[in-house]
Amino acid sequence: MLRRDLLKAIPASLFLTGFPNLGITKNLKDGRLVVINLEGGMDGICAVPPLGDKSLRSARRDLLINENLQLNPFFGLHPSLKNFGTMLSTDEATIVHATAFPYTKRSHFEGQNIVETGVLTPFSSKTGWLGRAMELAGVGGRSLSLDTPLLVRGNSEVEAYYPSDLRGSEFPDSDVLDALKSMYEGDALETAEVLQRQINLSLDAPRLRDPEGLAIFAGKKMQELHGPKVAVIRVPEFDTHANQGTEDGLHSEQLRVVDNVYGALKSGLGPMWASTIVLTVTEFGRTIAQNGSAGTDHGFGSACLIAGGLISQAGVVSDWPGLKPSQLHEGRDLNATIDMRSVCAACLEVAFGLEHNEIVEKVFSDTKVKRIYNEIFS
């Protein structure tokens, strides 16, 4: 089995929510918001390399990628992000660089919790920032998933359901099959081989479980008049401690998945793309220097990729902190000069028409979160 086929089978998940509560929904903007949660810590320096920073080359000798798209004299774009690059060229995407949620302790569990809750102390909130914002915008409702992710949980009850007519479950799962093969011999093994052949044949069949397939489904559902307004797509496996690779490495494969999600969302949303904003979140970036296993460890600042028809001008929004050792966070990580909550607030503002003051007070409970709406969207 090829690596890309294996990656297709990596469990991704989709949560559609924010179905309008008819009669209750406030008369706010009818935008759509999709959050792509990059679990494991996406390497912003790899996705959007600061090619103009001279310290990059010495820190990443084995991980440098040569085929980046030159965005401007300073920044480049990773070769896996082909759809995203096209969107940048047509002013449908933008990048925020050197950004992170205010969390510096490098734990996945705590970091993921902060990404979802949007508060400063891990495990101190039972609701997510997106859920609270949906309540504020009056777009609470049902969650199209087996369980409701913390990110979209608000204070009021969210009904969860999963449509049973989704097809695709007739194809056997390769992990289960491997487990069965290791347990049985003889006739049972032959049956397993038949199933293996069926998996191979099903590679051309319509897909359901991979992030790209889920993104098309999400887009088509969100296009409907009374469809969901919010979707959360998880893309796991960004934690590349070893063999991060260059053009063909593991991190590049994962960025390709993210890029396909962007392309698929645009295709699925159709005309609704014009009223949509899609952003990536991740718990932290990765260290500037590569480690002894040609990978990178948990860091701090990363990059946020934003796309959608609500963007009017492409750009790289940043207060670039620099990569010289004296400019790094604790001498090892990219500093985050932009609070990721400011980016989320700007996206909530553009999608739902909420006021910045209202967002920082009621969603993030921190009035110090700055407004960078103009830098991103105008």
Partner 1 sequence: MKSFPKIEKVFFIICTSIAIASFVATKTFANVRCIQSFLSETVFDPGPVDGAWGKKTATALKDYASYHQLTLKTEIDRKNAAALCTELKAFQLPLKAPLVRRFDINIVLKDLEEFTGRKHLDLSNINVMTMLNQNRCWFWISRQQIETKWIEELARGEFSVETGRIKFGKNWWNTGGLADSSYLQEQAALVFSDDFLLNGSIPYFHLFVSPGEIAERPLQIDFEKTQEDNTWPKHINKLIWQRVYRFDVDHWQTGILDLRCRAN
Calpha distance 357→370 (Å, rounded):
10
Minimum distance from residue 318 beta carbon to partner 1 (Å):
7
Minimum distance from residue 263 beta carbon to partner 1 (Å):
7
Minimum distance from residue 199 beta carbon to partner 1 (Å):
16
Minimum distance from residue 204 beta carbon to partner 1 (Å):
7
Judged by CB, which is closer to partner 1: 95, or 139?
95
Judged by CB, which is closer to partner 1: 60, or 153?
60
Cα dist. 198→167, 171, 195 in Å?
16, 8, 5
Judged by CB, which is closer to partner 1: 190, or 319?
319
Backbone angles phi, psi at 96, to 5 degrees: -110, 125
Minimum distance from residue 208 beta carbon to partner 1 (Å):
5
Minimum distance from residue 207 beta carbon to partner 1 (Å):
6
Backbone angles phi, psi at 62, to 5 degrees: -90, -10
* CB within 8 Å of 329: residues ≥ 6 apart: 104, 299, 300, 301, 335, 336
Helix (H), strand (E) at residue 280? strand 276-282
Torsion sign across C-alpha atoms 290, 12, 345, 259: positive
Judged by CB, which is closer to partner 1: 79, or 131?
79
Judged by CB, which is closer to partner 1: 28, or 56?
56
Backbone angles phi, psi at 155, to 5 degrees: -80, -25
Calpha distance 368→361 (Å, rounded):
9
Calpha distance 251→247 (Å, rounded):
9
Residues that bind partner 1 (CB under 8 A): 50, 52-55, 67, 69-75, 77, 79, 82, 85-86, 88-89, 94, 165-168, 204-208, 213-214, 216-217, 220, 263-264, 267-268, 313-324, 327, 337-338, 370, 372, 375-376
Judged by CB, which is closer to partner 1: 35, or 48?
48
